[in-house]
Amino acid sequence: MLVSSGTTAEAAASTVADVWVYAGLLLTAFAAATLLPAQSELLLAGLLVAGNQPAAALLLVASLGNVAGSALNYALGRGIERFRGRRWFPASPQALVRAQAWYRRWGRWSLLLSWVPIIGDPLTVVAGVLREPFWVFLLLVAIAKVGRYLVVAALALGHA
């Protein structure tokens, strides 16, 4: 004879809630890495402090979302160059020349600053425009993004 209890339903509801938490974090981290205005650090810190999900899983999901958002910026940079002469192009010719000169001066290592607000997202676009090899881009951006989230986690959990 099979006995039903509320624990199965509670476990299923908890699993569904966890999926929404991870999906929300992934999408927020993705958006935060694009040129859209979004903030993922506060969400990550709040989830870490709440302690309902494993910290390693939250760090992994946030990092994957944020690196994927930067990869989208890179892809946009690779494709947008062909529209440079159009009126709606998002950067003036002078601004693009300055950004390219700055990137050429500091090189690929500047991608370690991809986590920095305001300058990080455009850096990832410029890396695409300048055709930085994708594997180098991915490695440096992942180091920067994961490092930033590790610092956020240390601060949120009181390890700093």
Q: pLDDT digit string (tens) for 117-153?
A: 888 888 898 899 889 999 999 999 999 999 999 999 9
Mean pLDDT, rounded, of the chain: 87
Q: What pLDDT was estimated at residue 2? A: 52
By the 8 A CB rule, do 75 and 138 touch? no
Q: H/E/C letters for each residue in 3-31?
A: CCCHHHHHHHHHHHHHHHHHHHHHHHHHH
Q: Which has more confidence, 4 or 153? A: 153
Instruction: Tell me the C-alpha distance between 71 and 26, whole Å.
Output: 14
> What's the whole-model pTM score?
0.83
Q: How confident is the model at residue 11 (pLDDT cuts 50, 70, 90)?
A: low
